Amino acid sequence: MLLRGCLVILLLGVQFAFGQQKPNPDWVNQKFSMFIHWGLYSELGGVWKGLPVRAGYSEQIQSFAKIPKVEYEAVAKVFDPEKWNADSVVALAKAAGMKSIVFTSKHHDGFCMYHSKYTKYNVVDATPFKRDVMKELSDACRRQGVKFAVYYSLIDWNFPGNGITPHNADAISKEHHAFSMHQVEEIMTNYGPISEIWFDMGSLSGQQSKELYDLVNRLQPQCMVSGRLGNDRGDFAVMADNAYPDYKIGVPWQTPASFFDETWSYRSWQERGSLDKKIDEKLRSLVKVVSRGGNFLLNIGPRGDGSVVEFERDALLAMGKWMKRYGEAIYNTTANPFDHAVEWGDITCKGNNLYLFVEKVPTNREIVLNGLIGKAKKASLLADEKALSLKQDGQSVSVNIPGDVKPDRGMIVVKLEFAGTFRVVPDQVLETGELSAVNAIPVYAYSSMDYYSSFRSTVGFSWHFKKLGKTITPTIIYTAGDQGKELRLVVDGKEQVATLTGGEVQRLNNHPEGITWGKVYIHEPQADRFNGNIGGIKEEINVNAEGGRSWDDFRAGKALNVPMREKQSIYVLHKFTSDREQDVLVELGVADGVQVALNGENVLLRTYVGGIPRTNEVIKLHLKKGDNQLVVKLHNRYGTEVTYLMNTNVKQAMYRLRLKPMKLYSGEIHDCNLEMAHPANNNSDMGLRDIRVELE
């Protein structure tokens, strides 16, 4: 029986191999780190000409206050952080329980907080302080045993010819890219071991992202590269700012968080509120991220004089005290091994132990875990090892929380120990060998072309099925749109790699002649993100005034060419009828990003690497009898227009590729996993929503 327990260190597609540099296990296991936003903007503290700048983040005050370049540059002449003490900052991070520090080497303003030889606009050459603060911090980290990492903005408002745009997702010129390559090289060369480099913003071409990734990988092979490098390059996925996914992610990932969502750098007029509430909030955020398999990167924004804001210092020290009591349940753990979340809190896993973070104690004070195979031997409060009442009935384990046990920072933390290895029974065990995206457990990642083109992606499928016999023969059924893809199929730990070519042609049992393709409408272009949100389009659309905008008649079968600006989307609406419930294949000619929803359900979500020619998408639509509605969102990252065409004259056939027989382990429940065999990275969506696997 191949069931899951804590021995599974990461989900499908991300495995540690002997001698492998990435993913760096030290990075994956550190869980809690410090982010530092500090620069010229800190000197201003969110104030310009005596008035608070309330728009936007304070670290981007040059943009939001519309400060002339010459006036902003003059701030460097008074930047003299006499209270800066790198050793004290590192000591604070250690006291908080943080394992690494990510420091802003250069933010969007282009001012370098290290001694760069490629610009005089840096802390050594342009300020009276004349000290390389990043070098001091990297040395202090090394002395105190804390990992050092850097943030590097891919946009630069100070670089010749660059302007300031409201979205910060500018294309990068050839000259600017060469400058970035030089600066990243000097950072990777002159500042010792760097555990991660946190690229941010810009809209790079695929080649630019690749060149930066390869440079880092060549100079420091163990350095983890953030997914915000774009074009799905990177070693770990980065969520949107202060974003907390409610699902597990099967690749290394991180949530960047600030103490206050409205700013990352120091803001002198910030209303900070209750210290205790903020401590509780950030500890709950830490647990939520770690229980879903991620790392938590919590930011501080020192003042312009280099001192740490007392509110943030005190919060970190209090969090550190909590971590001393409960760090065992955080560090080196894996995500909740169950397929479902629990109503009362969160779960982490390590070795033969489960750690239960109880936020909402049930009325009967009983915490019940079903679907556990293994002998539970002890339950205790993690802080003081006080034993708790433990009962086990078959695969059900219950722990009683006495009424006199009070939460510590909003949580009661319980350690549940097993006598040996334990396993978790999957929530969904199929009675059939008919496997598809519909009945799979998806393995999620986070695709990022740039900050505004980022969404939850699917990088694998997992199924559990009851025994079908001693041997099974898999057959993969695929569409013409998936031809050429190389897949890895793993059944009970044994794998086959198959290229989707050839196979028996299987005509779809459908009746395309019974489909009446009706009117097509287009929506005017609008500024938009490509983040998996179809834009609030309802299942039934009023084509006369949807969202306050008109839809224009457009003829099906005609190519659509719409002039558009960067970072805009348009919506295309197809209305049609079918004389029966049926599947039909159609071909879409698409833009940089495409999302398709049929009758309110997503059927396609893809973006494309910048500079790489795109191919048309063949997708299968499951039509209901009667009226149907197809909404297509087309997103433009770079270009000046979007071209779109839906071709309904497509061969209505699937392909059946029969693989070699595979032996099953003894036992009643078996596993099957499917992923790309050689993905260019860990975060790109597979695009296999129409794939099926038959096990015979």
Residues 636 and 543 in one domain: yes
For residue 537, the model assigns a pLDDT of: 55
Highest mean pLDDT among 253-257, 554-558, 608-612, 618-622: 253-257
Sign of the CA dihedral 304, 305, 311, 312? Answer: positive
Asked if residue 595 is part of any domain, the answer here is yes
- In order, the DSSP letters of 264-328 are SS--TT-----HHHHHHHHHHHHHHHHHTT-EEEEEE---TTSPPPHHHHHHHHHHHHHHHHHGG
Tell me the longest C-alpha to C-alpha distance in the chain. 78
Q: Tally the C-alpha atoms within 13 A of residue 275's C-alpha that lie toward its C-beta.
A: 11
DSSP 3-state assignment of 6?
coil
Residue 543, pLDDT > 70, answer: no
Which pair of structure tokens corresponds to residue 671?
A: 């596993």
* 157-209 confidence digits (pLDDT tens): 999 999 998 889 889 999 999 999 999 999 999 999 999 999 999 999 999 99
Mean pLDDT of 537-563: 63
CB 636 within 8 Å of CB 529? no
Residues 634 and 664 in one domain: no
Closest CA to 690 of 480, 382, 395, 442: 480
Residue 524 pLDDT class (50, 70, 90 cuts): confident
Residues 440 and 475 in one domain: yes
Tell me how far apart the alpha carbons of residues 241 and 238 are, in angstroms, rounded to a whole number.
9
Lowest mean pLDDT among 258-262, 490-494, 531-535, 667-671: 531-535
Residues 592 and 564 in one domain: yes
Percent of the chain topping pLDDT 90 = 75
Asked if residue 170 is part of any domain, the answer here is yes
Asked if residue 44 is part of any domain, the answer here is no
3 against 137, higher pLDDT? 137
Distance (Å) of CA 338 to CA 291, 346, 356 = 11, 11, 12
* 91-131 confidence digits (pLDDT tens): 999 999 999 999 999 999 999 999 999 999 999 999 999 99
Residue 476 pLDDT class (50, 70, 90 cuts): very high
For residue 542, the model assigns a pLDDT of: 60
Residue 614, pLDDT > 70, answer: no
CB 618 within 8 Å of CB 479? yes
Tell me how far apart the alpha carbons of residues 440 and 689 are, in angstroms, rounded to a whole number.
10
Which pair of structure tokens corresponds to residue 55?
A: 């728009």
* 33-88 confidence digits (pLDDT tens): 999 999 999 999 999 999 999 999 999 999 999 999 999 999 999 999 999 999 99
CB 105 within 8 Å of CB 151? yes
Residue 390, pLDDT > 90, answer: yes
DSSP 3-state assignment of 89?
helix
Number of domains present in the structure of the chain: 4
Asked if residue 641 is part of any domain, the answer here is yes
Give the Cβ contact number of residue 527 at 10 Å. Answer: 12
Q: Is-cis flag, bond preceding 442, omega within 30?
A: no
Sign of the CA dihedral 242, 148, 59, 265? Answer: positive
For residue 568, the model assigns a pLDDT of: 87
Residue 4, pLDDT > 80, answer: no
Residue showing tokens 């191919």:
615
Strand blocks (E) in 315-440:
345-350, 353-358, 366-370, 372-373, 376-381, 390-393, 396-400, 412-418, 423-424, 434-436
The domain boundary residue, chosen from 651, 666, 685: 651
* 498-520 confidence digits (pLDDT tens): 999 989 999 999 999 999 988 88
Residues 300 and 418 in one domain: no
Tell me how far apart the alpha carbons of residues 234 and 199 are, in angstroms, rounded to a whole number.
9
Residues 99 and 188 in one domain: yes
Residue 611, pLDDT > 70, answer: no
DSSP 3-state assignment of 577?
strand
For residue 10, the model assigns a pLDDT of: 40
Sign of the CA dihedral 82, 264, 107, 134? Answer: positive
Task: Please state whether the predicted TM-score (pTM) of the whole model is above 0.85.
Answer: yes
Which pair of structure tokens corresponds to residue 212?
A: 């930066």
* 645-681 confidence digits (pLDDT tens): 888 989 999 999 999 999 998 888 999 999 999 988 8
Query: In CATH, what number is assigned to the domain containing residue 612?
Result: 2.60.120.380
Three-state SS letters, 668-689: CEEEEEEEECCCCCCCCCCCCC
The domain boundary residue, chosen from 424, 451, 475: 424
Residues 442 and 559 in one domain: no
Asked if residue 480 is part of any domain, the answer here is yes
Asked if residue 337 is part of any domain, the answer here is no
Which pair of structure tokens corresponds to residue 88?
A: 């004290």
Q: State the residue range of the domain holding 371.
A: 345-424
List CB contacts of 232: < 8 A, sequence separation 6 or more: 447, 448, 449, 609, 680, 681, 683, 684
Residues 96 and 211 in one domain: yes
Residue 472 pLDDT class (50, 70, 90 cuts): very high
Structure-derived torsion over alpha carbons of residues 463, 469, 470, 475, reported in degrees to the nearest 10:
-60
The DSSP call for residue 377 is E
Residues 383 and 455 in one domain: no
Residue 415, pLDDT > 60, answer: yes
* 280-291 confidence digits (pLDDT tens): 999 999 999 999
Residue 473 pLDDT class (50, 70, 90 cuts): very high
CB 605 within 8 Å of CB 540? no
Residue 18, pLDDT > 50, answer: no
- Round the average pLDDT of the chain to a whole number and report it: 91
The domain boundary residue, chosen from 374, 402, 424: 424
Lowest mean pLDDT among 30-34, 133-137, 389-393, 586-590: 586-590
For residue 325, the model assigns a pLDDT of: 98
Query: In CATH, what number is assigned to the domain containing residue 175?
Result: 3.20.20.80
Asked if residue 332 is part of any domain, the answer here is no
Asked if residue 379 is part of any domain, the answer here is yes
End-to-end alpha carbon distance in the chain: 19
Residues 98 and 206 in one domain: yes
For residue 612, the model assigns a pLDDT of: 63
Query: In CATH, what number is assigned to the domain containing residue 492?
Result: 2.60.120
- In order, the DSSP letters of 424-440 are E--S--BSSSEEESTTS
Q: Tally the C-alpha atoms within 13 A of residue 522's C-alpha that lie toward its C-beta.
A: 20
Residues 660 and 547 in one domain: no
Residue 545, pLDDT > 60, answer: no
Residues 154 and 284 in one domain: yes
